[in-house]
A = this chain, B = another copy of it.
Amino acid sequence: MTLPPWKVGELASRTGMSVRALHHYDEIGLLSPSLRTPSGHRLYQQADIARLQQIQSLRLMGIPLEEVKQLLDGAAMSPREVIDLHLARLHEQLALQNRLAERLQALATHLDMVESASIDDLCQIIQVTIAMEKYFTTEQLEVLRERRTSIGDAHMHEVRDEWNEIIPKVRKAITDGVDPASPEIIAIARRWKALVEEFTGGDPKIAQAVRTMYEHEGPTLQQQLGEVPTPDMFAYMGRAFAALEQSSR
């Protein structure tokens, strides 16, 4: 007893595919029904249905139709090769997507820092976000992200304000030729150090990376952050830190 063949609609509803998909499979020669009615209606027999089930299995693994076709038509590819190849491609894609997701996450936290919503600012912040990838390792970025969320939004602005207060003072001290070992500069150095440690979590590698970044990307960062330390400030404050060390002994 042979079962009557199925028409597309029936096959579609029974297999959960769309009629269009079955048409498509026919078009590309992946699954052509072995029978047609005189008027041209597709009739699928047992063998066709079996093939469709195989196709569905392979599609569940995300294998592209062209490769499914080659596999089922017995081309020169072992299942193992196909799976391994596909897995490799998937991992590549995943790596890319993950990098994108990390970027977007970083961008989102950066967006929380500033209150602006202009497109120009957004693009600037993207630049900063991308630039940071060059100066910090993935783990360091992770640490920074955590620091930022733990510091919180409100305090973040206080920190910004404090930098905006300190940096002009340092600039003025440099142009005025004030001795970095003088008491008022040492007081500033103490505040500076506290700010840095709060931001970097005390990791000297991160502090160094921050410094390198400011040296290379100063102008870009300045547009977003406001006051930003320049290389000569780092040098000057270095001497102030030395004096701070001495005085605290």
**A92-126 toward B: CB 8 Å interface, digit per residue (1/0)?**
01100110110111011001000001111111001
- The answer, yes or no, to whether A60 is at the interface (CB within 8 Å) is yes
A79 contact set on B, CB distance < 8 A:
111, 117-119, 121-122
- The answer, yes or no, to whether A90 is at the interface (CB within 8 Å) is yes
Residue in contact with A57 in the complex, picked from B54, B60, B98, B127, CB distance below 8 Å: B127
Across the interface, name the chain B residue whose C-beta is closest to A104: B87
- The answer, yes or no, to whether A178 is at the interface (CB within 8 Å) is no
- The answer, yes or no, to whether A71 is at the interface (CB within 8 Å) is yes
- What is the minimal beta-carbon distance from A64 to any residue of chain B, in angstroms? 13
Tallying the copies of this chain within the complex gives 2
Q: Tell me the count of chain A residues lying within 8 A, CB to CB, of chain B.
A: 41
Most B CB contacts (10 A, CB to CB) among A60, A62, A79, A107 go to A79
Q: Is the CB of B87 within 8 A of A119?
A: no
- The answer, yes or no, to whether A176 is at the interface (CB within 8 Å) is no
Q: Is the CB of B126 within 8 A of A57?
A: yes
Q: Is the CB of A94 within 8 A of B101?
A: yes
- What is the minimal beta-carbon distance from A117 to any residue of chain B, in angstroms? 5
A120 contact set on B, CB distance < 8 A:
54
CA distance A120 to B100 in the complex (A): 38
- What is the minimal beta-carbon distance from A144 to any residue of chain B, in angstroms? 18
CA distance A23 to B171 in the complex (A): 48
Q: Is the CB of B111 within 8 A of A100?
A: no
Residue in contact with A93 in the complex, picked from B74, B97, B119, CB distance below 8 Å: B97
Q: Is the CB of B104 within 8 A of A83?
A: yes
- The answer, yes or no, to whether A245 is at the interface (CB within 8 Å) is no
A127 contact set on B, CB distance < 8 A:
57
- The answer, yes or no, to whether A130 is at the interface (CB within 8 Å) is yes
- What is the minimal beta-carbon distance from A76 to any residue of chain B, in angstroms? 12
- What is the minimal beta-carbon distance from A179 to any residue of chain B, in angstroms? 44
Across the interface, name the chain B residue whose C-beta is closest to A71: B119
A71 contact set on B, CB distance < 8 A:
119, 122
- Nearest first, the 9 A-B pairs at minimum CB distance are A79-B122, A57-B123, A57-B126, A54-B123, A87-B104, A62-B100, A90-B101, A78-B117, A94-B97
Interface residues of A (CB under 8 A from B): 53-54, 57-58, 60-62, 71-72, 74, 78-80, 83-84, 86-87, 90-91, 93-94, 97-98, 100-101, 103-105, 107-108, 111, 117-123, 126-127, 130
